[in-house]
């Protein structure tokens, strides 16, 4: 039985599990607490509370490995704890995936980037991801695939609730461009890679339509029949340092490789399609 061991079994990994389990896969996912373990168990995933569990026997059983765990200043937590064990089993894995971020490319003043663009992160988060990508790539014989995810949205994660609550903000920074991706399309990209492994490859995972963030909020409001929030100038808007940091980078991300090499056809090629589908589903 093909077996996926998923470190940090969160939003994107759960979407992948929903594709794999009906295909006869065994999926094992690590979570931080018993409440989350119960949640993924209801989806057919074998939950393991980690840190805490001995992952060695599960690594022995895995045919495929996915990690979504974010790095910290000490490096990648998975490699810190289990790097040696993973390296010892690298040649026995059929596929390994690391979920990174398009933040590794840094700021391009609204210009286009692809997988061959230099890695020049402008934020701490991006820098840590670059370092983590390199650490995973350094494992000899590991059939690693790196997935650089754009801003993720999907069921339970999108602009509608903020619009409904009246807390949505349209922060306008001239020239600001973001790329995004629906979680179901992330799962389909990962599945396509599993079915067409190409160790060493990096893939940008984003839709076809980079757009200013204020346009997305406005469109969500229109779909809900609510007033479009007033525009706020980024230069003078009151924002937390974390929120402001998301505007430190502006770029359009190309996704040609997932189409060309993996044969992916996006279900939601733009935010208009994705938001309409979420609304139709009752989100």
Percentages of the chain per state (helix, strand, coil), in multiples of 5: 40, 20, 40
Average pLDDT for 238-262: 94
Q: How is the chain split into domains, by residue range?
A: 3-154+181-207+252-267
pLDDT tens, position by position, 107-134: 999 999 999 999 999 899 999 999 999 9
Q: How confident is the model at residue 245 (pLDDT cuts 50, 70, 90)?
A: confident
Q: How does 189-212 read in b/e, with b if 16+ C-beta sit within 10 Å?
A: bbbbbbeeeeeebbbbbbbebbbb
Q: Angle formed by the axes of helices 124-137 and 77-89, to 10°?
A: 20
**Tens digit of pLDDT for each residue in 175-229?**
999 999 999 999 999 999 999 999 999 999 999 999 999 999 999 999 999 999 9
- Between CA 208 and CA 29, with CA 194 as vertex, the angle to 5 degrees is 100
At residue 25, φ and ψ (nearest 5 deg) are -85, 155
Inter-residue contact 180 to 253 (CB < 8 Å): no
pLDDT at 283 (0 to 100): 82
For 113, the enclosing helix (H) or strand (E) is strand 112-113
Cα–Cα distance for residue pair 57/72, rounded to 1 Å: 26
User: In terms of Cα–Cα distance, which of 10, 279, 16 is closest to 159?
Assistant: 279
Helices (H), 141-209: 160-165, 183-195
| Architecture (CATH level 2) of domain 3-154+181-207+252-267 | 3-Layer(aba) Sandwich (3.40)
pLDDT for the residue numbered 61 = 97
pLDDT digits (tens, 9 = 90+) for 5-34: 999 999 999 999 999 999 999 999 999 999
Which helix (H) or strand (E) is 64 found in, with range?
strand 64-67
The full 3-state SS of 20-38, as one line of letters, equals HHHHCCEEEEEECCHHHHH
């Amino acid at each position: 039985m093909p077996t996926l061991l998923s470190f940090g079994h969160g939003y994107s990994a759960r979407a992948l599990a929903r594709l794999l389990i009906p295909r006869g896969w065994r999926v094992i996912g690590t979570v931080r607490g018993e409440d989350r373990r119960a949640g993924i168990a209801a989806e057919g995933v074998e939950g393991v509370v980690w840190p805490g569990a001995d992952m060695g026997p599960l690594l022995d059983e895995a045919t495929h490995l996915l990690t979504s765990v974010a790095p910290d200043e000490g490096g990648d937590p998975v490699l810190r704890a289990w790097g040696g064990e993973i390296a010892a089993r690298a040649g026995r894995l059929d596929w390994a995936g690391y979920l990174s971020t398009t933040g590794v490319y840094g700021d391009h003043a609204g210009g286009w980037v692809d997988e061959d663009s230099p890695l020049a992160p402008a934020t701490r988060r991006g820098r840590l991801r670059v370092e983590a990508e390199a650490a995973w790539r350094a494992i000899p014989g590991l059939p690693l695939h790196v997935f650089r995810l754009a801003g993720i949205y999907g069921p339970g994660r999108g602009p509608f609730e903020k619009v409904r609550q009246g807390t949505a903000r349209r922060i306008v920074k001239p020239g600001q461009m973001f790329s995004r991706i629906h979680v179901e399309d992330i799962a389909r990209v990962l599945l396509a890679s599993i079915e067409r492994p190409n160790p060493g490859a990096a893939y940008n995972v984003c839709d076809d339509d980079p757009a200013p963030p204020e346009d997305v909020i406005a469109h969500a409001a229109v779909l809900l029949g609510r007033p479009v929030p007033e525009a706020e100038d980024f230069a003078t808007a009151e924002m937390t340092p974390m929120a402001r940091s998301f505007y430190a980078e502006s770029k359009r991300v190309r996704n040609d490789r997932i189409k060309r090499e993996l044969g992916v056809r996006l279900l939601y090629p733009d935010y208009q399609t994705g938001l309409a589908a979420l609304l139709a589903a009752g989100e």
